[in-house]
Amino acid sequence: MFMNLLKTIKNNLLHPYALLMYVLFIKVTAFQIVIFDNKSFLHLLFVEFPIWALALTVLIILFKKRTWLAIWLYNLGLSTLFIVVMYYTRYFSTVPSYYDVKQIYQSHSVGGTVALLGSPFDYLFFLDVVLIIPLIWFFTKKSYQITFPKVKHWAIGLSSIGLIMTIIAFRYPLIDVSFFAKEHGYIQSQFVQAFERSLGKAFATNDAITDKELEELKGNHYVPFAKHSTFGLAKDRNVFVIQVESLQEFTINQKVNGQEITPNLNALLVESAYFNNVYQQIGAGNTSDAEWIMHTSLYPEGMDPTVNVIDDTEIPSLVRTLKANGYGTSTYHADDIEYWSRDKLYPALGFDYIYTDEEIPNEKEIGFGPADEVMFEYVESELPEQLESHEKMYSNIITLTNHTPFDMPKDYQYLDLPEDYQGTYVGNYLQAVRYTDEQIGKFIEHLKETGIYDDSIILIYGDHSGLHGAPVTEKDEDILKEILGHDYNLSDRFIIPVIFNAPGIFNGETHSQLGGQIDLMPTLLNLLGIEHQTQMMGHNLFQYKNNLLGMRYYMPGGSFISDKLMYVAPSAKLPSALYNRKTMKKTKNTERMQEKVDNTLLLLEHSDYIRHQQTDQ
């Protein structure tokens, strides 16, 4: 009897289904360790593993005639998914949701960077597909059949555990995707996100707050918009907004090897108001989210590119407000209009003229589109006719060349970099920034030569960081330390330059109060002396000195940036951290920290409330 028992146990332990589960558990464990640094056996066994195992078990039950093919395809798909998640996390420093993975068709934007993210060891995730599963099939095909009676009790058990853990996950608030996935399971986090998104609520609240209450949350005394000291200073001027791809603030007024990285932008500062303490606030939509924030002064969706949750509904926007005040409006971006669903975004915002890769000549191609010089020349060619048709113009111009992996042809490398910078990610980035700066300078000269410049206000800002994630190596960090004089930190990464250029109005002033991309639209409208009909989440940077900023996606949910502090909430791999924002040294000054967390979440919730009102109309 004892020998029969041992034989039964051995047969069960060596049953092909059991062997497949061992392999799957090892794969899921490797994924959890790499992505979340999670080594808890109990968490793996009862939270993460059951859902993946259940999916495989269901396939085995459904595909009775093609069982092994289904098993092989499942593991191949799982290995591919894990690799995609791993690479995405290395570049963006956040764990992707199914929203992000389904955007894989847009991967050409970082296609050249993929080679910088990988390691040969990553492909051990495919070891089971090419070796282990074929071996299990070969050695067990004559002895065992994987049939429904053999696995039904496993299916029942796994279903029960998976259902319980998923129900538990739904009882917790989803503030940060990565942290939620670590605590409650990656698949469970996808279920919760899909559920919340299907209800159309995400973080949204139904409570409205006034402009006065909004400023009080940020620590300011409210002043009506039309009573600001800058109201109408640039009234009736032409407006040019230049959103510069991947431009970070540290490049401004910075020299390398005795050469200015941005000589043309530096020269422009003489007749500008320069804000050197403005943070990016984009979400998963990256450049398109920067466009959204600029034109609505609302926070982006965060987990999903904002363009994915809008249609062609007419959204109250900077564009529509300017049109109501006599402006013709145009937007230029030398890329596919369907990329990041701009075919939906631009009509929703209300542009009169839309120019993308269908109109802008595909000449002097760099990266995945025409060089910036081609795009600016196209803008110059269209302006005369537009100014004949409209008394004044709003032109939204988005550069493209300064884009990862920043691989510039030699003829377009204007900097003479030190030898140890050559071929580095930072070195390539500096060359790309310098090229785009040159094209902006030529465009400004054109505006001066044609007499447009003196009657214009020009807003130039960066859309997001260029130097982040796995492509930034230790050598790159050493170069950045040499340039900056300190270790490259989160503020260096997130701060973008903001230049309001207006000849006759500004005379080289620099403003260092805290700001965010969400403040650009209200600041511009105030200078133009135009009031927006719907509430904006940002404020006039010239008027208010205090601020409180939220950021989705690139900082864990619950994080905030205030005048003195930067709080980084716990993430998938790291505990929470509180920094003195000026020194970026960790601090224990937790005074009013929870209040700031709560106020930041309220700002995000209210922004979502406004956005849902607008997009659901």
Q: Which residues are catalytic?
A: 287
Half-sphere exposure (CA, 13 Å, Cβ side) for 470? 16
Distance of CA 96 to the CA centre of its chain: 11
**Six token digits for residue 400:** 């493209």
d(CA 293, CA 521): 8
d(CA 454, CA 504): 8
Q: Is 437 annotated as a binding residue?
A: no
**Six token digits for residue 360:** 């802008």
**Six token digits for residue 185:** 């399971």
Contact in structure between 222 and 212 (CB atoms under 8 Å): yes
Q: Is 287 annotated as a binding residue?
A: yes
b/e 57-76 (16+ beta carbons within 10 angstroms → b): bbbbbebeeebbebbbebbe
**Six token digits for residue 443:** 């465009």
What sign does the CA torsion over 138, 139, 144, 150 have?
Answer: negative
Count of CB atoms within 10 A of residue 474's CB? 7
Q: Is 464 annotated as a binding residue?
A: yes
Q: Cα dist. 207→27, 582, 607, 613 in Å? A: 45, 34, 11, 12
Q: Is 245 annotated as a binding residue?
A: yes
Phi then psi dihedrals of residue 568, to 5 deg = -110, 110
Helix (H, G, I), strand (E, B) or coil at 93: coil
Q: Cα dist. 60→148, 149, 152, 171, 248 in Å? A: 8, 11, 10, 31, 51
d(CA 220, CA 603): 14
**Six token digits for residue 524:** 């511009």
Q: Is 8 annotated as a binding residue?
A: no
Contact in structure between 104 and 84 (CB atoms under 8 Å): yes
Phi then psi dihedrals of residue 273, to 5 deg = -105, 120
d(CA 239, CA 252): 22
Contact in structure between 527 and 230 (CB atoms under 8 Å): yes
Contact in structure between 354 and 331 (CB atoms under 8 Å): yes
Contact in structure between 23 and 31 (CB atoms under 8 Å): no
DSSP state of 209: -
Contact partners, residue 77, CB within 8 Å, separation at least 6: none
d(CA 228, CA 451): 29
Residues belonging to the binding site for Mn(2+) are: 245, 287, 463-464
Residues belonging to the binding site are: 245, 287, 403, 463-464
Residues belonging to the binding site for substrate are: 403
